A and B are shown apart, each in its own frame.
Chain A
Amino acid sequence: MFDNLSLLGLVPLLNLQLLIDGILIGSIFALAAYGLALVWGVMNIKNLAQGDFVIMGGYIAFTLSESPFNLHPILTIPFVFVLMFVFGWVLYITIIRRVIERDLFTSLLATFGLAIVIQQLINLAYGPDVQTVESGMAIREFFDGEITIADTKLVSFLLAMSMALLITVFMKKSRMGRAIRATSQNARAARIMGIDTDRVYAFTFSLNAGICGIAGVLISIIWVIQPFFGMTHSIRSFVIVTSAGFGNLIGVILSALGLGAVEQFSGFILGAEFQQATVVGLLVGVLIIRQIIQGRQRQVVK
């Protein structure tokens, strides 16, 4: 570990490489985290299956990129979005609708059960090997090859940021967006004003599924997918939302980019086997910090 640490000191450009990689992949984490925050803020549902939605999106992209479809992975995005949106809607009608009004642990457990079912079904269908989707894009080099940036990562960063922008515009300008915001602030008032909150919830949940799907496509291109990697993605989203809070997209993006960078650095310094430990460690760390901050106000982390 200390060899790696000293390497960072000796080769400053290495730091830049890790930072860039972290930011590029962090942008995708931001998407999934935003979706989690959306569902949490509007419906008070803590979706532990978030990461599995992402993985699902990745596997749909994987399937569509093989024969007989043979789509270029970037082109699968609209299809994945639609499929995941419908999936989300079905889930809402069957399960989620019934747990909204209940206590908070119920939604956590229900989505946890969902996560298990999804993981296992994917495992049964595709097997436990990691997969990745080939995109056939170039790798750019900078500084005489010291820094490499895959085009796939650049493209996915741009796509992730555009999605974030699109969603923000949608929430501000569209009717449904305004309905969602109204419902999240005061569901009863929204209902009295004639908003069909049930539809708003269904739409929100499905939108989240769609967003996760897109994140999954991007993950499958620049990283890997595996049936059981969902939990780690879920934890990542929780870490980001917990440190950034709800209202604010900028905070989510910054936290996500930060998380991406921290993961890259720790993966390099400590080794790949510490990857999951790092993510979980960050979760515990963020919660402890939140506690200390709240404790000053004599409040607790609710």
Chain B
Amino acid sequence: MSNIIEVRGVNKSFGGVVANHDISLDVQTGKITGLIGPNGSGKTTLFNSIVGYHPIDSGTIQFADREISKMRVQKIARLGILRTFQQTRIYSEMDCVKNMLISAAHHHTGWFDMFRKYPQELTERAEHLLEFVGLFAKRHLISGDLSFGQQKLLEFAMALMNEPKVLLLDEPTAGINPTLINGLINRLKRANHEFGITLFVIEHNMRVVMNLADSIYCLAHGEMLAHGTPEEIKNDQNVINAYLGAH
């Protein structure tokens, strides 16, 4: 299966506003796909549609050859599609390790697993991943007390803990100190190459997305504008117009 996610003809409107119109795209298995476009072009709406946050008006969304557009968020997450949020969401009253533990995968938990304690291996794995994102020293702090950038890293680590097949990242470098962005890009690449996680990334930072993505889709005004390799997209006149013309 070469495309882990296939979106065909997806339409989504909110009241009178058309957020996504006839969107079709493929997310290739094991690769990093980028999603760009000016503000308000419907990127996050598309993400929300894929993860089941709201129903779509028409079209199909297939994950590993399975129709998921009618499924609920929890079910889709358990199938292996996770997303991170633009505003970075974590469990703010718990410490980092606990945030990680509760993020371990839930698709094979039965009714009695709910009442087990967490095994040592899981804690070790959590700490290992926290080290991967550079939060090991802060692992016992309450996550709500971390800085914004640190919370973003924690959210990323939590996603990795869940061992997803696909990770949808909504502007992973937004709000991050420019000097730390390279580190984040490296970690994203490692997650893709070493852990085998397919990435689908919304980004505004052109440098990041050109560096990271194997192929890029560009949305504008709710419609698919262009698709291609970073080189092709960089030189696509429509894309350039969309960004320059956008306000």
Contact = CB atoms under 8 A, between A and B. Distances in A.
B50 to A, nearest CB: 13
Interface residues of A, number: 4
Contacts of A296: 55
A233 to B, nearest CB: 34
A297 B72 CA distance: 11
Interface in A279-299: 296-299
10 contacts: A296-B55, A297-B54, A297-B55, A298-B52, A298-B53, A298-B54, A298-B55, A298-B72, A298-B73, A299-B54
A111 B221 CA distance: 46
A299 B55 CA distance: 10
Instruction: Please tell me the size bucket of the interface on B.
Output: under 10
Nearest to B73: A298
A132 B55 CA distance: 53
Nearest to A299: B54
Contacts of A297: 54-55
Contacts of B53: 298
A298 B69 CA distance: 12
Interface string B43-79: 0000000001111000000000000000011000000
A296 B72 CA distance: 11
Nearest to B71: A298
Main secondary structure of the interface of B (DSSP, over half): loop
B193 to A, nearest CB: 34
Nearest to B54: A298
Contacts of A298: 52-55, 72-73
Interface string B105-136: 00000000000000000000000000000000
A297 B54 CA distance: 6
Interface of A: 296-299
Nearest to A296: B55
Nearest to B48: A298
Nearest to B55: A298
B116 to A, nearest CB: 29
Given A298-B52, A298-B54, A298-B72, 7 more contacts: A296-B55, A297-B54, A297-B55, A298-B53, A298-B55, A298-B73, A299-B54
The listed residue with most B CB atoms (<10 A of its CB), out of A296, A297, A298, A299, is: A298
B152 to A, nearest CB: 24
A298 B54 CA distance: 6
Contacts of B55: 296-298
Interface in B20-58: 52-55
Contacts of A299: 54
A68 B54 CA distance: 64
Nearest to A298: B54
A296 B73 CA distance: 13
B4 to A, nearest CB: 23
B69 to A, nearest CB: 11
A299 B73 CA distance: 11
Nearest to A297: B54
A297 to B, nearest CB: 6
A51 B72 CA distance: 40
A89 B70 CA distance: 51
Nearest to B52: A298
Closest CB pairs A-B (n = 7): A298-B54, A298-B55, A297-B54, A298-B72, A297-B55, A298-B53, A298-B52
Interface string B162-184: 00000000000000000000000
A213 B55 CA distance: 45
A298 B74 CA distance: 11
A296 B57 CA distance: 12
A30 to B, nearest CB: 27
B144 to A, nearest CB: 14
A89 B59 CA distance: 55
B247 to A, nearest CB: 20
Contacts of B52: 298
A294 to B, nearest CB: 11
Nearest to B53: A298
A299 B52 CA distance: 11
A297 B56 CA distance: 9
A296 B53 CA distance: 11
Contacts of B73: 298
Nearest to B14: A297
A298 B73 CA distance: 9
A296 B70 CA distance: 11
A297 B12 CA distance: 12
A298 to B, nearest CB: 6
A221 to B, nearest CB: 43
A199 to B, nearest CB: 31
